[in-house]
């Protein structure tokens, strides 16, 4: 069985001023300095990226943007390019978050362009997908995920490196306190991995990390991580407090890296 390095990302959304982000970055850096066998990423707001990246340089925490525009530069007021993110110290970028899709008109087509732009600039995209509550209730979860994956990754080719991360985030679980059950998460992750295998081959499907996102907290992360296709978490609210987020980091470290022969250790 393939062993995938667990990955946890904190999406700070539109929270924290520059000085608050700097404070959180310092605290997180010292709290998780000893964490091993886990990859960690935080995504501050654009205005805090450079400062946070300077603090986290050389640490075990990577920095990512929360969005990008697919063009290199130009008359696109309010937008930011992949090169600008890289220049600010980012190695990752969140793309297609449901809040972007819901409130800012992002579509599978724009998500696709953004993923290509990120990959062209050697930024690792966190490709977010997930069904709404009504889509789940009407039995359309898998068809929604199928379309999001096919359209979002249209034209993608696997070059031997799984330099893309998928985040399954059921919209009804984001910021609501309602987490998907571990069975619901596993079922969706397994479906996504199967689809990725059909589209891009077994090597890619078994190497790609699929994160769960939606009200992940210290008291539910272990159950989720015990599922074979859950490789980590994309965390919103619980990533804002460095103490809580570092707890999650250590919980994940203890869980999933050798999930084929070593179930979660107790924390
Ligand atoms: P939440 O957000 O953890 O606050 O539910 C998750 C996300 O939006 O990625």
Percent of the chain with pLDDT over 90: 88
- C-beta 237 within 6 A of ligand 1: yes
- C-beta 234 within 6 A of ligand 1: yes
**pLDDT value for 204:** 95
Give the mean pLDDT of 36-52: 97
pLDDT digits (tens, 9 = 90+) for 176-185: 888 899 999 9
* Cα dihedral sign, 142-148-151-154: negative
Q: How far is the CA of 9 from the centre of ligand 1 (A)?
A: 10
Q: Which of 69, 92, 169, 189 is catalytic?
A: 169
Ligand 1 atom 2, closest CA: 236
User: Burial level of 213, CB count in 10 A (0-12/13-18/19+)?
Assistant: buried
User: Burial level of 22, CB count in 10 A (0-12/13-18/19+)?
Assistant: middle
Whether residue 255 has pLDDT greater than 80: no
User: Is residue 8 helix, strand or coil?
Assistant: strand
Percent of the chain with pLDDT over 70: 95
Q: Please confirm, yes or no, whether 72 is among the known catalytic residues.
A: no
The fold for domain 7-259 equals TIM Barrel (3.20.20)
- pTM for this one? 0.94
The span from the CA of 264 to the CA of 251, in Å, is 9
User: Is residue 174 helix, strand or coil?
Assistant: coil
Q: Which of 97, 99, 131, 189 is catalytic?
A: 97
**pLDDT value for 2:** 54
Ligand 1 atom 3, closest CA: 236
Whether residue 258 has pLDDT greater than 70: no
Whether residue 95 has pLDDT greater than 80: yes
Ligand 1 atom closest to the CA of 238, numbered from 1 = 3
Ligand 1 atom 8, closest CA: 236
- C-beta 10 within 6 A of ligand 1: no
- C-beta 213 within 6 A of ligand 1: yes
**pLDDT value for 264:** 46
Ligand 1 atom closest to the CA of 13, numbered from 1 = 8
Name the residue of 237, 239, 245, 252 to mutate for ligand 1: max ligand atoms within 8 A of Cβ. Answer: 237
What's the gap between Cα 50 and its chain centre?
Answer: 20
Average pLDDT of every residue of the chain: 93
For residue 175, name the pLDDT band (cuts at 50, 70, 90). Answer: confident
The span from the CA of 222 to the CA of 123, in Å, is 29
Ligand 1 atom closest to the CA of 217, numbered from 1 = 3
32-46, 85-99, 150-164, 237-251: which has the minimum mean pLDDT?
Answer: 150-164
Greater confidence, 23 or 254?
A: 23
pLDDT digits (tens, 9 = 90+) for 49-86: 999 999 999 999 999 999 999 999 999 999 999 999 99
What's the gap between Cα 214 and its chain centre?
Answer: 11
Whether residue 87 has pLDDT greater than 90: yes
pLDDT digits (tens, 9 = 90+) for 122-166: 999 999 999 999 999 999 999 999 999 999 999 999 888 889 999
Give the mean pLDDT of 218-223: 96
What contacts 263, CB < 8 A, 6 or more positions away? 226
- C-beta 174 within 6 A of ligand 1: yes
**pLDDT value for 161:** 83
Domain assignments of the chain as residue spans, ordered by start: 7-259
Name the residue of 172, 236, 238, 241 to mutate for ligand 1: max ligand atoms within 8 A of Cβ. Answer: 236
CB neighbour burial string for 26-37, b if at least 16 within 10 angstroms, e if fewer: eebbebbeebee
Ligand 1 atom closest to the CA of 214, numbered from 1 = 5
- C-beta 215 within 6 A of ligand 1: yes
The span from the CA of 25 to the CA of 77, in Å, is 29
Whether residue 12 has pLDDT greater than 90: yes
Q: Please confirm, yes or no, whether 169 is among the known catalytic residues.
A: yes
């Amino acid at each position: 069985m393939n062993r995938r390095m667990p990955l946890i990302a904190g999406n700070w959304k539109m929270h924290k001023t520059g000085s608050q982000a700097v404070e959180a970055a310092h605290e997180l850096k010292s709290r998780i300095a000893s964490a091993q066998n886990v990859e960690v990423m935080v995504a501050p707001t654009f205005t805090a990226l450079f400062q946070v990246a300077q603090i986290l340089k050389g640490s075990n925490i990577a920095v990512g943007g929360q969005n990008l525009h697919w063009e290199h530069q130009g008359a696109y007021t309010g937008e930011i390019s992949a090169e600008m993110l890289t220049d600010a110290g980012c190695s990752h970028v969140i793309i297609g978050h449901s809040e972007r899709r819901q409130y800012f008109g992002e579509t599978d087509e724009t998500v696709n362009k953004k993923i290509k732009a990120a990959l062209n600039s050697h930024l690792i995209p966190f490709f977010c997908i997930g069904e709404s509550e009504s889509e789940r209730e009407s039995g359309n979860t898998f068809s929604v995920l199928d379309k999001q994956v096919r359209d979002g990754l249209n034209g993608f080719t696997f070059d031997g490196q799984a330099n893309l991360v998928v985040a399954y985030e059921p919209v009804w679980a984001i910021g609501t306190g309602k987490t998907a059950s571990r069975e619901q998460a596993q079922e969706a992750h397994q479906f996504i991995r199967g689809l990725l295998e059909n589209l891009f081959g077994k090597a890619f499907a078994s190497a790609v990390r699929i994160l769960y996102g939606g009200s992940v907290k210290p008291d539910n992360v272990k159950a989720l991580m015990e599922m074979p296709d859950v490789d980590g978490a994309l965390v919103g609210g619980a990533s804002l407090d460095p103490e809580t987020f570092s707890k999650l980091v250590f919980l994940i470290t203890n869980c999933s890296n050798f999930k084929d022969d070593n179930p979660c250790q107790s924390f």
